[in-house]
Structure 1
Amino acid sequence: MTARSVACVGAGPAGLLAATQIKLARPGWQVLVYERAPKDVTYGYGVVFSDVAVRTIEYLAPELGALLANQTRWDDVEIRAGGARYRIPGHGYAALSRHRLLGALAGRAAAVGVDLRYETPATLDDLRGEHDLVVAADGAHSQIRGQLAEELGATVRYGRSKFAWLGTTASFDAMTFVFERTEHGVVVAHGYPHEDGLSTFVVEVPGDGPERGLTQWAEVFADHLGGQALRANGLRWERFPVVQLRNCVHRNVVVIGDAAHTVHYSVGSGTRMALEDGFYLARSLARHDELAPALAEYQRRRLPSTGELQSAGERSMRWFEDAPSHLNKPPAQFAVHLLTRANSVPLATLTAEASQLAEDATEALAGPLSDRDLLDLPLTVGPVRLAGRLAVEAPGSLMVPIAVVDPTRLADDPAWSADFAGAKVISVDLGPYREDPAEERANARRMTAALRDLDRPEDTVLAIRSTLASTADLPPPALLARLRELCAAGWCDLVDLAADDGPPALAAALETADLVRRETGRPVMLSRFRAAHDIVRTHLLAGRIDLWCAESGARP
């Protein structure tokens, strides 16, 4: 292959590992790293990796994996909220300072022959003219991505919370989430150890709360800092940028790392993804003798692989933004809600890892019935006392306490369910919300007229079903407004959120159900989704849903 010149812009984890791996794969190439900041200047404190990430990095870059194996390690998550503390083992983390990580990556890059140029800003036009390939690894606020935003299909959205990366000599021996109420609202801290007697302490302020200074924040979190001070490498507050690309390649430019995709810090996978980008880019360049097919292969393989983790990161980000509303739950239920914010966890696993937490959360939900299977807990819905939390759409199944009729359109008379286990349910299907505002208003008028004319016996549950699009992360405002109006008018005892005909997006549906439950004050049921019994139990325990309805013949 013809000798090439490669410019990597940005001396962060993605740029440094990409440069190193490209040089190893193509020793005859000229590989340079351009970094506008001085050497050894970095923002932030510790970088954390899960055990899964450590094993991945050991495979991708053995020297870096060996470094991580000898860093600060711990196994627990600790949640501090509402005067309670819950500690959950069995996770596994490793952490080191960002300064040490970058130093190790830079040293390795220089050792294999990469030309590192610090305090050297570089423009895209100049780089394209001087180099065969430009690797844009210039971070979440990438200038190169900004210049190519239209060609890359780039979108950048910002979270609602403000946050700052701080450090402290206070001792933390777990991934610690701290929630404190102040006169300005709830504030959150993410604390974890990394090395040299230091811990990272990220302070997050949901909404528009005050930023304050280090001394004031040390006072807010004094009970958790043990009297130790807070410090900052250049204190700055920002809102988390959610970066997504439709394409990560344009001609001879490839965008990697945070410049291409960000994952919220509460999930802790951004650095791992950046390192993976650098490794797989070099692998693609090693497999092809021409740049175009190599870059096409990288884009084809890499872009889809980041989507699921980014979605989990966004769900986690929104969870912390909504922390004030979650804190109304009992402390144990709140802790379960936090632990399962981005991934489903079977109740048996949760009980095995944190038996006291599971016991306390069950008692908070079930009271004196805490020894009963959560699926068999009774629930009052409107005027009816249901015998349990499972349902199927077709009446007559012996496994379920309630029956939900096949939904009908509003133009027809609502169908009745059979009298089953003492419950009668009218299910009115509103269908999906209309994208067109005029159509949605017309649908709302039809819906209102139909419900006004409904002859509803007193011992009947009125369930309002809405279909959730499989591609939607959250319900559209129009759907929430529709449900709030119906509930306020007394025309809804139960909100039924059903999967559409597309791929069932359970994680998004659970987040939607949780939001609808808070917004309407009504019990919420998910229908036509699939999950194991024990995962349904966990989400009941966390308070995301109240009922689960499977299709006829299907079992959760």
Structure 2
Amino acid sequence: MTAPRPGGARRTVACVGAGPAGLLAATRIKTARPDWHVVVHERAPKDVTYGYGVVFSDIAVRTIAFMVPSLGAVLASQVTWQDVEVRANGRRHRSGGHGYIALSRHRLLAELAGQALDAGVELRYETPVAVDALRSRYDLVVAADGARSRTRSALAAELGARVRYGRSRFVWLGTSAVFDAMTFIFEETPEGLAIAHGYPHGDGRSTFVVEVPCSSDGPGNGAAAGGGPDGRMREELERALDHWSRVFAEHLYHRPLLAKDLRWAHFPTVHLDRCVHENVVLIGDAAHTAHYSVGSGTRLALEDAFLLGRALERDDDLGTALAEYERRRLPGVQELRVAGERSMRWFERAPVFLERPAPQFAVHLLSRASLPSLEKVEADAPELVEEAKRELAGGTPLPSAGILALPLEVGAVRLPGRLVREGGSGGSWCEDCEDQRYGCLLATADGPADTGPAWQHLPRGTVVVAERVPLVDRAGAAPPLVVIDMGPCPTDPAQATAGAEALVAAAHTAGWPMSPAVAVRTGFTDVGGTAVGGAVSNPGGEALLARLRVMRSAGLCDLVDLAARSGGPAEPDALLDVLEHADTVRSALGVPIMLSGFQARPDQIATHVLAGRIDAWCVSAPD
């Protein structure tokens, strides 16, 4: 711990919640300011915990060891593993090189409580409190009262708090079956797909989270989130526990599931505009959440506590210290919070993804919230990647140039590779095409006047004609390709549908389609109507699908080109957003997907081609 700093007024501090955030915050504050009176209020009885294991990545452990060396030493002696295992469709695939450490939540809280007592913190269990009462009695209130924070609810307007709930239901369980990897299990049941997240945490136990990513009312999915169960509800939940023990019996080695708290819930994603209001500061899950599938919630909570303690140590003025903490911390949690939300949405859509071949599905899961290079994925899971490559190539040998050199069927034509380079002055050519006579010359309806009378009735600026294309059909000829540039998609599905129907009517009046392949290029807008570099803020993309379904039904969509706004941002988040939309469109329409206007390395592109999110990539021309 940092040496105490002398000086400053004597203060009283109330920490609400004896979870990791509350206990460590209390310890850090008391250590930095020994003359302050620090009290932790906890609703639950002493030594009662409702979770099972807590997992940290090896990177998180190094961070924790820096912040709290004594806790780092404890973690160093806990159960460790390197692998992620995916069990789906009767297959098991492993990926190594990840690095995890886990321990029981009871052990973690006992260690943190011991440190708090040693520092001189007062711990009061079975003491429910209200924030209004605490604000008047204490100089500082640290709200660490969890994802369903009563403090946050009481100050929702002042904090700009927004809480959204995931579609899946989940329940936190345990088992005496010991896993040796971070294990994701997908089992079909009569009520729909069930998912389990399992990992060891020592003491001969494993954590086992059951998730139901559908709206069925099957066993175990009928209990409301919220208050503790009793009477008839408890009997129903106990039957549900038996049910899930049977569903996952093979993976549990026929051992029963255990439950400390039989409550099903929807995961809350918490967003705050501010985490400080007057003398109240929110930390941990009360201020932000990270989905359990990325395992970072406790790490963020401990970081919050450490940084809050440091801010209070550095500045004698409470208001200045809290303002500095808020300014630095709110942006700092964004990356993991957003990654958690992406991962949550992936598991919600898992029933759709499970229709893919087993090896492709596993690669899809492993790359769900990041931009990993194919080299890294292959190093971690060589057998999985080799099997997925064979599936992608249809059993034929992969070209020596790799995945991006695989041909792609688009309508009745064939793209000889997956990279298309778009040049200046309307010129484009295929990245893998050696014969530049097949360079793709693009002419818009606002450009050259010789686009032909068949296009004269179409709205100006909406049509791109590829007069010479880098595509060859099975006979070796060079047929034309028509690319329809529809511009950014309206946010209203009805408006998007009407616009597409008008374009289809104009196209049929003009007598087309006249080519073996037609592509649709479309951009995105956010809910406010402003283009955002190819990403869209509403994850469903209902308007986008409505527009493309009209074009597909009319026979005018053999390929979808998801394009970034010209000059728009090219941050990784924008690309990850559009990759989610690509997944949705590809699954819904069954057509190849190309991305245009985004930036990524070829090895990152290859990973997402292998995962089946996209099929081609349009690369910007060099300056």
Identify the TM-score tier after normalising by the shorter chain: over 0.9
Contact 1:44-1:166 within 8 A present in 2 as well: yes
Aligned equivalent of 1:537, options 601, 606, 622 = 606
Aligned equivalent of 1:301, options 328, 339, 346 = 328
Where does residue 421 of structure 2 map in the other structure? 392
- Deviation, 1:309, is 1.1
Where does residue 252 of structure 1 map in the other structure? 279
Where does residue 107 of structure 1 map in the other structure? 114
Which digits, 9 at most, give the CA deviation of each residue in 1:423-478, with x for residues without a partner? 53322222222346786566345433433334446444222111133463435311
Where does residue 144 of structure 1 map in the other structure? 151
- Deviation, 1:285, is 1.1
- Measure, in 1, the Cα distance between the counterparts of 2:612 and 2:501: 32
Contact 1:391-1:403 within 8 A present in 2 as well: no
**What aligned pairs does 1:118-517 form with structure 2 within 5 A after superposition?**
118-209=125-216, 210-212=218-220, 213-372=240-399, 373-394=402-423, 395-397=427-429, 399-401=431-433, 403=440, 405=442, 411-412=459-460, 414-421=463-470, 422=478, 424-435=480-491, 440=496, 443-444=499-500, 446-456=502-512, 458-468=514-524, 469-470=532-533, 472-473=536-537, 474=539, 476-500=541-565, 501-504=567-570, 505-517=574-586
Inter-CA distance 332–356: structure 2 relative to 1 (3 Å threshold) = same
- Measure, in 2, the Cα distance between the counterparts of 1:535 and 1:255: 37
Q: Which amino acid aligns with 2:176?
A: T
Unaligned segments of structure 1, at least 5 residues: none
Contact 2:390-2:397 within 8 A present in 1 as well: yes
- Deviation, 1:31, is 1.0
2:167 aligned counterpart, secondary structure: strand
2:395 aligned counterpart, secondary structure: helix
Inter-CA distance 396–321: structure 2 relative to 1 (3 Å threshold) = closer
Inter-CA distance 100–454: structure 2 relative to 1 (3 Å threshold) = farther
Where does residue 6 of structure 1 map in the other structure? 13
Which digits, 9 at most, give the CA deviation of each residue in 1:138-180, with x for residues without a partner? 0000001001111111111111111111111112111011111
Q: Percent identity at matched positions?
A: 56
The range that moved more, 265-274 or 492-501, is 492-501
- Measure, in 2, the Cα distance between the counterparts of 1:370 and 1:177: 31
Inter-CA distance 387–458: structure 2 relative to 1 (3 Å threshold) = farther
- Measure, in 2, the Cα distance between the counterparts of 1:398 and 1:224: 48
- Measure, in 1, the Cα distance between the counterparts of 2:518 and 2:441: 10
- Measure, in 2, the Cα distance between the counterparts of 1:475 and 1:407: 31
Inter-CA distance 381–347: structure 2 relative to 1 (3 Å threshold) = same
Which digits, 9 at most, give the CA deviation of each residue in 1:54-110, with x for residues without a partner? 001001111111111101111111111111111111111000000110111111011
- Deviation, 1:136, is 0.8
Contact 2:564-2:596 within 8 A present in 1 as well: yes
- Measure, in 1, the Cα distance between the counterparts of 2:17 and 2:549: 48
Inter-CA distance 406–199: structure 2 relative to 1 (3 Å threshold) = farther
- Deviation, 1:400, is 4.2
**What aligned pairs does 1:54-73 form with structure 2 within 5 A after superposition?**
54-73=61-80
Which digits, 9 at most, give the CA deviation of each residue in 1:101-139, with x for residues without a partner? 011111101110111111111111110101111111100
Which digits, 9 at most, give the CA deviation of each residue in 1:274-329, with x for residues without a partner? 00000111111112121111111111111111112111111111111111111111
Residues 1:551 and 2:588 aligned together: no
Which digits, 9 at most, give the CA deviation of each residue in 1:366-394, with x for residues without a partner? 12334211111111111211111111233
Where does residue 226 of structure 2 map in the other structure? none
Inter-CA distance 190–438: structure 2 relative to 1 (3 Å threshold) = closer
Inter-CA distance 435–355: structure 2 relative to 1 (3 Å threshold) = closer
- Measure, in 1, the Cα distance between the counterparts of 2:161 and 2:339: 19
Where does residue 452 of structure 2 map in the other structure? none
- Deviation, 1:491, is 1.6
Contact 2:496-2:544 within 8 A present in 1 as well: no
Inter-CA distance 461–475: structure 2 relative to 1 (3 Å threshold) = farther
Q: Which amino acid aligns with 1:502?
A: G
Q: Number of aligned residue pairs: give it.
A: 554
- Measure, in 2, the Cα distance between the counterparts of 1:81 and 1:337: 12
Q: Which amino acid aligns with 1:387?
A: P
1:534 aligned counterpart, secondary structure: helix
- Measure, in 1, the Cα distance between the counterparts of 2:428 and 2:303: 52
Inter-CA distance 130–404: structure 2 relative to 1 (3 Å threshold) = farther
Contact 2:170-2:210 within 8 A present in 1 as well: yes
- Deviation, 1:25, is 1.3
Contact 1:264-1:314 within 8 A present in 2 as well: yes
**What aligned pairs does 1:36-51 form with structure 2 within 5 A after superposition?**
36-51=43-58
Output the TM-score relative to the length of structure 1. Answer: 0.96
The range that moved more, 453-462 or 503-512, is 453-462
Contact 1:369-1:377 within 8 A present in 2 as well: no
- Measure, in 2, the Cα distance between the counterparts of 1:234 and 1:457: 60
- Deviation, 1:5, is 1.0
- Deviation, 1:262, is 0.5
Structure of higher CA gyration radius: 2
- Measure, in 1, the Cα distance between the counterparts of 2:443 and 2:272: 41
Contact 1:163-1:202 within 8 A present in 2 as well: yes
Inter-CA distance 125–535: structure 2 relative to 1 (3 Å threshold) = same
- Deviation, 1:363, is 0.5
Inter-CA distance 549–106: structure 2 relative to 1 (3 Å threshold) = same
- Measure, in 2, the Cα distance between the counterparts of 1:396 and 1:12: 58
Contact 1:180-1:188 within 8 A present in 2 as well: yes
- Measure, in 2, the Cα distance between the counterparts of 1:249 and 1:338: 37
- Deviation, 1:404, is 7.5
- Deviation, 1:407, is 6.0
- Measure, in 2, the Cα distance between the counterparts of 1:417 and 1:64: 63
- Measure, in 2, the Cα distance between the counterparts of 1:9 and 1:408: 64
Q: Which amino acid aligns with 1:488?
A: S
- Measure, in 1, the Cα distance between the counterparts of 2:483 and 2:9: 68
- Deviation, 1:235, is 1.1
Inter-CA distance 217–78: structure 2 relative to 1 (3 Å threshold) = same
- Measure, in 1, the Cα distance between the counterparts of 2:310 and 2:445: 55
- Deviation, 1:247, is 0.9
1:369 aligned counterpart, secondary structure: coil
